[in-house]
Amino acid sequence: MKKLKQWVKTPTFSNVSASIAAIVMGLLFGLIILLVTNPSQALPGFVSILAGGITGGAQGLGDVLYTATPLILTGLSVGFAFKTGLFNIGASGQLVVGAYVAVLLGNLDLGLGGFHWVVAFLAAMVAGAIWAGIVGFLKAYLNVHEVISSIMLNYTGMHLVNLLITQTVYDKLRNQTQPVLQTANIPAMGLDKIFPDSSVNGGFFIAMIIVVIVHIILNKTVFGYELIACGHNPNASQYAGINAKRNVVMAMVIAGALAGAAGGMIYLAGAGKYIRVIDTLHSEGFMGIPIALLGLSNPIGVFFAALFIAYINIGGFYMQLYDFVPEVIEIIIAAIIYFSAFALIVKNIIARYQSKAEEKEKSKAEAAEISAEGGSQS
């Protein structure tokens, strides 16, 4: 209890409450929209959002994990960049570049047997890292704002990949990539037994391992410490002897590798997904932004935020039973990001409350002291 009381006073508490407040407000906004469009079905529809994957039993829960896997990685990508004070809005481009390289290698018979998918997956990470490295380089050495250059590279990457697909692994009939070889698919690692009929695979375990690795890099290494220091105050870190420019590049490279990994994860899942040759950006990349915000850019937080977003997404799928359009979920997520932009206000309210509580405690303690002194005198 005492520990809990102490925790309530930390900034982590006010951050977590800000995230939860944003989620609650976003969900309420969604409820209002449901009530406006179809009052009689609104409540059951809303309940099915909250019930998420549970409605579908084991298959539904498996689909939650499957949907969450790439989201965990793009969330980590955006969050990692946030920690270093960079806004990686380019996860979408990094993701598609990684996805293309994974599919390309997945189509080649490299004679690697069981390691085929490992090579394709790692290559996706390298491709994403290079793509984001351009952003880091431009930021560090030429002072180009990372948001603008990432937006440009999102579209450049999309068109480049479309061009390369039509030259290499093109399925002309369906206007998409050819399926990868069986050996290039990430094995299910037993998850298909727990969640039958769902598309979940071993990628989920890999994502979990990556969460732990990123957590260790950020919190237990000198390199991670330097990155976070640069995020707080680049000038002070430079003064303290940290190579801020190199760190900006490295942070983007790692963020890009994570987004590229997400791309590999989506198209090596063997779930019947192919890169389509259309002029549309991948939404998974943009989903990384709300996930990183809700997860406070903390790897563990990102993990749970991605699960939450995947959970209500699957809930949106089952909500169609009540004649609702699943886009409600995207509206709710957009509302959650919008309200999380208000985090400052929530934090201020909590901070005021915290300092008031502290004062109260202080005066209480003083009063107790005085009365104790009074007691000893008499």
Partner 1 sequence: MNTLYFLVQQTMFFSIPLLIVALGGMFSERSGVVNIALEGIMLIGAFASIFTINALQDYMSGQGLLLIAILVSMAAGMIFSLLHAYASINMKADQVISGTALNMFAPAFAIFVARTIQGSKDINFLNTFRIESVPLLGDIPVVGPLLFQNCYITTYIGLIILVISTIVLYRTKFGLRLRACGEHPQAADSVGINVYKMRYAGVLISGAFAGLGGLIFVVPTSTAFSADVSGYGFLALAVLIFGQWKPQRILWAAFFFGFMKTVSAAYSGIPGLKELDISSDIYKMIPYIATLVVLAVSSRNSQAPKAEGIPYDPGER
Binding residues for partner 1, rule: CB under 8 A, are 33, 37-38, 87, 89, 138, 142-145, 147-149, 151-156, 159-160, 162-163, 166, 279-281, 286, 289-290, 293, 325, 327-328, 330-331, 333-335, 337-338, 340-345
SS (H, E, C) 94-120: HHHHHHHHHHHHHHCCCCCHHHHHHHH
Q: In angstroms, what is the minimal distance from the CB of 336 to partner 1?
A: 8
Q: In angstroms, what is the minimal distance from the CB of 293 to partner 1?
A: 7
Burial label for 349, CB within 10 Å (0-12, 13-18, 19+), is: middle
Q: In angstroms, what is the minimal distance from the CB of 141 to partner 1?
A: 9
Biggest CA-to-CA distance, the chain: 97
Q: In angstroms, what is the minimal distance from the CB of 307 to partner 1?
A: 19
Using the minimum distance from each CB to partner 1, give the nearer residue, 162 or 237.
162
- Cβ(211)–Cβ(72) under 8 Å? yes
Using the minimum distance from each CB to partner 1, give the nearer residue, 69 or 149.
149
- Cβ(117)–Cβ(180) under 8 Å? no
Using the minimum distance from each CB to partner 1, give the nearer residue, 10 or 38.
38
Using the minimum distance from each CB to partner 1, give the nearer residue, 1 or 344.
344
Q: In angstroms, what is the minimal distance from the CB of 340 to partner 1?
A: 7
Alpha helix positions (H), 53-107: 57-83, 91-107
Find residue 276's DSSP bridge partners. Answer: 176
What's the CA gap between 65 and 205, in Å, rounded?
A: 10
In this structure, the number of other CB atoms found within 10 A of the CB of residue 8 comes to 15
Q: In angstroms, what is the minimal distance from the CB of 207 to partner 1?
A: 23
Residues 6+ apart with CB under 8 A from 161: 96, 97, 99, 100, 275
Q: In angstroms, what is the minimal distance from the CB of 26 to partner 1?
A: 10
Using the minimum distance from each CB to partner 1, give the nearer residue, 173 or 344.
344
What's the CA gap between 280 and 236, in Å, rounded?
A: 41
Q: In angstroms, what is the minimal distance from the CB of 254 to partner 1?
A: 21
Using the minimum distance from each CB to partner 1, give the nearer residue, 43 or 278.
278
DSSP assignments along 235-292, one per residue: HHHHHTT--HHHHHHHHHHHHHHHHHHHHHHHHTS-SS---B-SS---HHHHHHHHHH
Residue with tokens 């039973």: 321
Using the minimum distance from each CB to partner 1, give the nearer residue, 165 or 250.
165
